[in-house]
Amino acid sequence: MGILDFLSGEFIDVIGWTDDTRDTMVWRFEREGHAIKYGAKLTVREGQSAVFVHEGQLADVFGPGLYMLETNNLPILTTLQHWDHGFKSPFQSEVYFVNTTRINDLKWGTKNPVMTRDPEFGPVRLRAFGTYSMRVSDPGKFLTEIVGTDGEFTSDEISYQLRNVIVQEFSRAIAGSNIPVLDMAANTADMGKLVASAIAPTIGNYGLSLPEFYIENISLPEAVETVLDKRTSMGIVGDVNKYMQFNAAEAMGQPGSAASAGMGAAMGAGMGAGMGMAMGHQMGAAGPWGQAPAAAAPPPPPPPVEKVWHMAVNGQTKGPYGRGHLGRMVSDGSLTRDSLMWTPGQDGWMRAEDISELAQLFTIAPPPPPPAG
């Protein structure tokens, strides 16, 4: 083996990249002077692409595999370099490794509420958030449109721009969907596909794609959600009067409460008396041989309480007198129209003639008898 072959073998470069991060999208292969030997070995692993840039111009893109950098593997670079068939010289190029795997669990969300018109609630403001994954679908376009000469490009540098695109298309999609707010939770999957389809052309110009896009939640403002919760509670309660009666019964049934102590004693006494009266009535009304009693007529109402009166005579109070007694007193002259009378509930003493109930006694009384003889 000659000295030239030995030196040629010693100077063959091995170009490759092993990614130990989760968010690096592009990494530039660092080589002093950017001089790559003709015949160097290029290793491109699965999930990667290698992009050669020669004198500021994109030259070649390599997918996964092991390559010998020779004339037959570098068609564009060979044209740019103007190599002769017998001339094997180093070349000045930059090599960028592009990560083509999915970058997952990227977040998006609406910074400001999205105004939309709901068919049931009218104009409403909505917020939403979710996750998505992205990948580089065109390494050459991504390098020229986004990365430029950045030696190490991460997903954080592009995620903010992607969020702006996502929120814009989401706002447009949700405003034109005419889906009621209460039905949006059941349609997030379809809305996610709609938004992803609308985003695809824009991010395709960046050399990117979104393999997955999810809408995790769509929410109303807190004040509107509070009112909605009250409306839902009313729907569950149903009849408000029955609900209040149920709550009152529940409160009386709570042990140790003042309501249960007082009401329990009163209800116990009342229920005992009522049950005793009901049992006595049923036993008295039951037919022979244990036959069921016939429907009993309701008991008559209690008689009204008779009103009584007191009479002032010579500074003393006499009575009380009932109406019948007062009628006899009119007949014998002991009760006159000027007699002062009082009954419970009356404001002070009054002449008998000024009391309507007693004035009638004087109109129905017989006249004085004729003189004798």
Q: What is the pLDDT of residues 56-82, one digit of tens each?
A: 788 889 999 998 887 667 766 666 666
pLDDT at 256 > cutoff 80? no
10 — pLDDT class (breaks 50, 70, 90): very low
Domain spanning 103-222: CATH 3.40.1010.20: no
First vs last C-alpha separation in the chain:
186
Q: SS3 for 213?
A: strand
pLDDT at 51: 92
Q: What is the pTM of this model?
A: 0.55
- Phi, psi dihedrals of residue 56, rounded to the nearest 5°: 80, 5
Strands (E), 208-296: 208-219
The residue with greater pLDDT, 117 or 370, is 117
Alpha-carbon torsion (177, 183, 185, 190), positive or negative: negative
Residue with token string 């020229």:
144
- Chain centre distance of CA 189: 19
| CA–CA distance, 350 with 368 (Å, rounded to integer) | 25
pLDDT at 246: 66
- pLDDT tens, residue by residue, 80-129: 666 554 456 667 778 899 999 999 999 999 888 888 888 877 888 888 99
pLDDT at 41 > cutoff 70? yes
| C-alpha distance from residue 45 to each of 64, 66, 98, 263 (Å) | 5, 8, 11, 83
- Residue 192 CB neighbour total at 10 angstroms: 19
pLDDT at 337 > cutoff 80? yes
Do residues 99 and 139 make contact, with C-beta atoms less than 8 angstroms apart? no
List all residues 6 or more positions away from 292 whose beta carbon is below 8 Å from its beta carbon: 286
CA 168, 171, 172, 173: dihedral to nearest 10 degrees? Answer: 120
- pLDDT tens, residue by residue, 164-183: 999 988 888 888 777 888 88
Domain residue extents for the chain: 3-99, 103-222, 309-364
List all residues 6 or more positions away from 126 whose beta carbon is below 8 Å from its beta carbon: 110, 113, 114, 116, 174, 181, 218, 219, 220
Of 9-13, 212-216, 328-332, least confident by mean pLDDT is: 9-13
For the residues 202-224, what does the mean pLDDT come to?
Answer: 88
For the residues 282-287, what does the mean pLDDT come to?
Answer: 52
pLDDT at 137 > cutoff 80? yes
pLDDT at 100: 93
| CA–CA distance, 279 with 297 (Å, rounded to integer) | 16
234 — pLDDT class (breaks 50, 70, 90): low
Which residue from 19, 74, 20 is spatially nearest to 42, judged by alpha carbons? 74
Strands (E), the chain: 14-15, 24-28, 35-36, 41-44, 48-54, 57-62, 65-68, 91-92, 94-99, 103-109, 114-118, 122-136, 152-154, 208-219, 309-313, 316-321, 340-342, 350-351
